């Protein structure tokens, strides 16, 4: 009986360890130059893949490609200053090599925005929409979890979900008039956007490192 109990306990511990290990996949440790992040996009133009080919973890530049019906591809280049402090998101892609200015990033968050969203008690000014628009107050409110495939194997990724925010008395609350959102991976070493919902929806669905 003791032997059976011990074996049963060992199986439980093994299962728990495997599950816990799976839940703690660290993207910054498996992503490398040449890795591809494959997002599913849903928009008024249909459903299609948006594929990012990583050049380096900090996001100095990346190649991208959109599947049918878009059938476009190009390259985004970021400045060092933007990677440190930009607060505007670039979401409009054309078939070209595009060097963004010091205030804009695409797919990546700047180190300042990552720090402010993750740690600030107040709302943070973010330009999630057209870069020419005025930034809006947004705030990290909750953790999310969703499924992805990494080299063909399913796993879960935890992300930080950001929503438009407003002050209610002394507290910050989600702005009930706006259901837009985005989420990011919780690592200053690889602060990429994982999901976004606005006039289109995008979500990471697969990672290929090989």
Q: pLDDT truncated to tens, each residue of the chain (210 aa)?
A: 444 443 334 344 333 334 444 456 899 999 999 999 999 999 988 999 999 999 999 999 999 999 999 999 999 999 999 999 999 999 989 999 999 999 999 999 999 999 999 998 899 999 988 778 889 999 999 999 999 999 999 999 999 999 999 999 999 999 999 999 999 999 999 999 999 999 899 999 999 999
Q: What predicted TM-score, i.e. pTM, was given to this entire model?
A: 0.86
Query: 114 near 189, Cβ under 8 Å?
Result: no
Indicate the DSSP class of residue 134: P
Nearby residues of 73 by Cβ (< 8 Å), 6 or more positions away? 63, 64, 65, 66, 95
88-89 and 46-54: which strand pairing? unpaired
- Count of C-beta atoms within a 10 Å radius of residue 137: 15
- From 89, 52, 84, select the one nearest 67 (Cα to Cα): 52
- Residue 147 CA, chain-centre distance (Å), reads 13
Count CA atoms closer than 13 A to 52's CA, side-chain side. 30
DSSP for residue 40: E
């Amino acid at each position: 009986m003791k032997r059976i109990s011990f074996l049963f306990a060992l199986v439980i511990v093994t299962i728990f360890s495997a599950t816990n290990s799976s839940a703690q996949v660290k993207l910054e440790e498996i992503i490398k130059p040449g890795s591809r992040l494959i997002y599913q996009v849903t928009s008024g133009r249909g459903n299609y893949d948006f594929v990012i080919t990583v050049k380096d973890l900090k996001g100095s530049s990346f190649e991208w490609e959109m599947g049918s019906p878009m059938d476009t591809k190009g390259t985004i280049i970021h400045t060092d200053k933007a990677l440190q402090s930009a607060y505007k998101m670039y979401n409009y892609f054309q078939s070209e090599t595009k060097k963004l200015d010091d205030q804009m990033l695409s797919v990546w968050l700047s180190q300042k925005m990552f720090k402010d969203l993750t740690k600030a008690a107040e709302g943070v000014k973010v330009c999630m929409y057209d870069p020419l628009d005025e930034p809006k107050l947004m705030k990290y409110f909750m953790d999310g979890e969703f499924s992805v495939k990494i080299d063909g194997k399913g796993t879960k990724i935890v992300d930080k979900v950001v929503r438009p925010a407003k002050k209610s008395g002394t507290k910050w609350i989600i702005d009930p008039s706006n259901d837009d959102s985005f989420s990011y991976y919780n690592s200053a070493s690889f602060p990429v956007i994982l999901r976004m919902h606005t006039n289109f929806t995008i979500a990471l669905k697969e990672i290929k490192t090989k």
